[in-house]
Amino acid sequence: MSFEEMWRALLPVGRDAATGGYHRFAWTPPELECRAWFADEARRRGMPLEHDRNGNMIAWWYPEDGTRDRAVLTGSHLDSVPGGGAFDGPLGIVSAFAAVDLLRERGAALRRPIGIAAFAEEEGARFGVACLGSRLLAGAIDPARARALTDGDGRTFAEVLHGAGLDPDAIGPDDDLLGRVGCYVELHVEQGRALAEPVGVASSIVPHGRWRFGFAGEGNHAGTTALADRRDPMIPFAGMVLAARDAAERNGTVATVGKVRVVPGGVNAIASSVTAWLDARGPADAAVRRTVDEVGAAAREAARPHRVTVEVAEESYTEIVDFNLALRDRLVRTLGGAPVLPTGAGHDAGVLSARLPTAMLFVRNPTGVSHAPAEHAETADCLAGVEALAAVLDDLARG
Ligand code: GLV
Ligand code: MN
Ligand code: MN
Ligand code: MN
The ipTM assigned to this model is 0.96
Residues 177 and 254 in one domain: no
Indicate which ligand has the atom closest to the C-alpha of 375: 2
CA 309 to ligand 3 center in whole angstroms: 35
Which CATH number belongs to the domain containing residue 23 in this structure? 3.40.630.10
Choice from 24, 81, 135 to test ligand 1 binding pocket (greatest atom count within 8 A of CB): 81
Residues 45 and 136 in one domain: yes
CA 31 to ligand 1 center in whole angstroms: 17
Ligand 1 atom closest to Cα of residue 88? 2
Binding residues for allantoate: 210, 268, 281
pLDDT at 291: 98
Chain mean position to CA 71: 23
Arithmetic mean of pLDDT, 325-333: 98
Q: Do 263 and 273 form a contact (C-beta atoms < 8 A)?
A: yes
Ligand 1 atom closest to Cα of residue 345? 4
> Over the range 66-87, which residues count as b (16 or more CB within 10 Å of their CB) and which as e?
eeeebbbbbbbbbbbbbebbbb
Chain mean position to CA 342: 16
pLDDT at 399: 82
CA 81 to ligand 4 center in whole angstroms: 9
Question: SS3 for 303?
Answer: helix
Q: What is the dihedral of CA 363, 369, 372, 376, to 10 degrees?
A: -40
Q: Please give all residues whose beta carbon lies within 6 A of any atom in ligand 1, as ranges.
A: 123, 130, 345-346
Residues 97 and 64 in one domain: yes
Binding residues for Zn(2+): 77, 88, 123, 188, 371
Residues 243 and 259 in one domain: yes
Residues 164 and 285 in one domain: no
CA 80 to ligand 2 center in whole angstroms: 7
Which H/E stretch holds residue 145? helix 143-148
Which H/E stretch holds residue 333? helix 325-334
Helix H, strand E, coil C: the string for 80-128 is: CCCCECCCCCHHHHHHHHHHHHHHHHCCCCCCCCEEEEEECCCCCCCCC
Q: What is the rounded distance in angstroms from the CA atom of residue 216 to the CA atom of residue 218?
A: 7
pLDDT category at 1 given cuts 50, 70, 90 is confident
Arithmetic mean of pLDDT, 237-250: 98
CA 362 to ligand 3 center in whole angstroms: 11
Residue where a domain stops, chosen among 318, 338, 365:
318
Residues 251 and 332 in one domain: no
The pLDDT tens digits for 115-161 are: 999 999 999 999 999 999 999 999 999 999 999 999 999 999 999 99
Contacts of 153 (CB under 8 A, 6+ apart): none
Contacts of 258 (CB under 8 A, 6+ apart): 277, 279
Q: Do 335 and 172 form a contact (C-beta atoms < 8 A)?
A: no
Residue where a domain stops, chosen among 318, 344, 375:
318
Arithmetic mean of pLDDT, 372-395: 98
Ligand 1 atom closest to Cα of residue 370? 2
Number of DSSP helices (H) and strands (E) in the chain, helices first: 12, 15
Choice from 206, 315, 347, 370 to test ligand 1 binding pocket (greatest atom count within 8 A of CB): 347
Assess whether pLDDT exceeds 90 at residue 18: yes
Cis peptide before 357 (omega within 30 of 0): no
Q: Which residues pair with 368 in a beta bridge?
A: none
pLDDT at 336: 98
Residues 298 and 353 in one domain: no
Q: How many domains does the chain have?
A: 2
Domain holding 248, by residue range, is 208-318
Binding residues: 77, 88, 123, 188, 210, 268, 281, 371
Arithmetic mean of pLDDT, 26-54: 98
- Give the residue, by CA position, lying nearest to ligand 1 atom 1: 346
CA 186 to ligand 3 center in whole angstroms: 10
Q: Which amino acid is at 91?
A: L
Q: Which residues pair with 262 in a beta bridge?
A: 274
Length of the chain counted residue by residue: 399
CA 209 to ligand 3 center in whole angstroms: 15
Residues 20 and 146 in one domain: yes
Assess whether pLDDT exceeds 90 at residue 68: yes
Residues 215 and 154 in one domain: no
Ligand 1 atom closest to Cα of residue 123? 1
Residue where a domain stops, chosen among 318, 348, 373:
318
Which H/E stretch holds residue 273? strand 273-281
DSSP string, 194-254: ---SSEEEEEEE--EEEEEEEEE---EETTTS-GGG---THHHHHHHHHHHHHHHHHHT-E
pLDDT at 207: 97
pLDDT at 342: 96
Residues 176 and 199 in one domain: yes
The pLDDT tens digits for 91-115 are: 999 999 999 999 999 999 899 999 9
3-state helix, strand, coil in the chain (%, to 5): 35, 25, 40
pTM for this entry: 0.96
Which CATH number belongs to the domain containing residue 269 in this structure? 3.30.70.360
Q: Do 21 and 373 form a contact (C-beta atoms < 8 A)?
A: yes
Choice from 210, 371, 375 to test ligand 1 binding pocket (greatest atom count within 8 A of CB): 371
pLDDT at 45: 98
Q: Do 245 and 256 form a contact (C-beta atoms < 8 A)?
A: no
Q: Do 114 and 101 form a contact (C-beta atoms < 8 A)?
A: no
pLDDT at 84: 98
